[in-house]
Amino acid sequence: MKSYKITLLRGDGIGPEIVAEAVKVLDKVGEKYGFGVEYTEALMGGCAIDATGIPLPQETIDKCLASDAVLLGAVGGWKWDNLPGNLRPEAGLLGIRGALKLFANLRPAKIYGPLKGACPLRADIIGDSMDIMVVRELTGGIYFGKRGRETVDGVEAAYDTEYYTTTEVERIARVAFEAARGRSGRLCNVDKANVLESSRLWRETVLRVAKDYPDVELSHLYIDNAAMQLVRNPKQFDVILASNIFGDILSDEASQVAGSIGMLASASLGEGKRGLYEPIHGSAPDIAGKGIANPLATILSIAMMLRYSMDETAAADAIEAAVEKVLDYGLRTPDIYTDGCKKVGTVEMGDAVVAALAM
C-alpha cells in the first residue's frame, strides 16, 4: 500500500483544532482509496517561540524537508505582537516558504451554492457562482527585497524594495499559464507597469512566456483596477497572476467576495511535488479552545494536498464532494451560519465530512 509522509504544523490559536479535523478526514479518505499516511509533528510560530525562543527551529525545517507535504494550521496571536519582526510568529511562515523553496501560492476563491447568500455582492453581480484561482508569487518582491532604516536630514526614514528577476517571474508565470490551461483558458496578469519598473519587467516576462501558451487568453490589469473589477464584476476572472504583495491583497479581497474566509484553502508549491497547505484565515485567538472554529478550509487544503503533491485526484474530488454534501445538509459553523441551518462546532463538522466520505 502506498504511504505518504506528512508533517503537521498545528501552530497557534485555532490551528490545533482545525488540523485535528483535517487529519480525521485524511485518514478516512486514505482508508477509502488505499493509501496510508505517516504523520510527524513539528513546531512553528508562537508555539515554537514559547518552546525554543524562535519561530522556526531548524528541526522543523528538517522534518518538513523529509516529508511529502506539510499541513499548517495557523500562526500568530496577540501574545507575540510586541516581539521584533524577525522573532514574530509570521517570520516562521516566511522562513519555511524560503526553506522549502515554495515560490507559487495557489488560492482558490469559490462560492459554494449553499453559501451563496453569504456573498456581500448583489445576486445580479455574482451570478450563479464564482470560482477564481489567484496565483501569487511567494518568495520574491517587496517582502523579500532589501529593507532598512536610515536618517535623512535629521528625519527617520524606512524603505522596502520591490525586486524581481526574470527567472522568478517566468517560473510563476508558467504555473499560472498551466493553471489556466487546466481551467477555462483565461489568465489575467495584474501589475503596475504604468508606474513601477519592476512591474514593467514582470509584464515583459509574462508576455514572453505567453508565446508558449497560444491556447491561453492573456489579459492585463493594473492592480488598482483589478481590485475594483473584483467587486464590480468578479465573473470576468478565472486565473489571476500577481506578484507577492499584489497577490496577497487580491487573494484576501477575493476571499471576502466569496463570503467566508473560513472556507478557503491554499497551496504553496515549488519545483517538485512537495508543498505546504494551509487555510488562508488566521489563528483567531479570540475563539481558540471554544470548539466553534470552521475546519472546512483546512479540510479543503487536504484536498489540494492530495491533488498537487500526491496525484490522488479521486481522493481530492471525494473530499470536495463531501464538503459540498455537508453544506447541502445545512450544517454550519457559526462563521457561516444563517437562519434555518443547523449550527455545529468544529468537531461535529469534521465528523460530518468523514461520514459523508463513508457514503
Would you name the residues annotated as active-site residues?
143, 192, 224, 248, 252
Polymer length in residues for the chain:
359
Grid cell locating 118: 453569504
User: Contact 115/300 with Cβ under 8 angstroms?
Assistant: no
Distance CA 155, CA 21 (A): 51
User: Contact 28/59 with Cβ under 8 angstroms?
Assistant: no
3 state DSSP class of 356: helix
Place of cell 511567494: 138
User: Contact 266/272 with Cβ under 8 angstroms?
Assistant: no
Distance CA 1, CA 284 (A): 38
Helix (H) or strand (E) holding 159: strand 155-160
DSSP 15-71: HHHHHHHHHHHHHHHHHHHTEEEEEEE---SHHHHHHHSSSS-HHHHHHHHTSSEEE
How many CB atoms within 10 Å of residue 81?
A: 9
Distance CA 195, CA 159 (A): 18
Grid cell locating 48: 515554537
Instruction: Output the CA torsion sign for 206, 211, 212, 215.
Output: positive
| Closest CA relative to residue 177, chosen from 220, 210, 129, 142 | 210
User: Contact 81/249 with Cβ under 8 angstroms?
Assistant: no
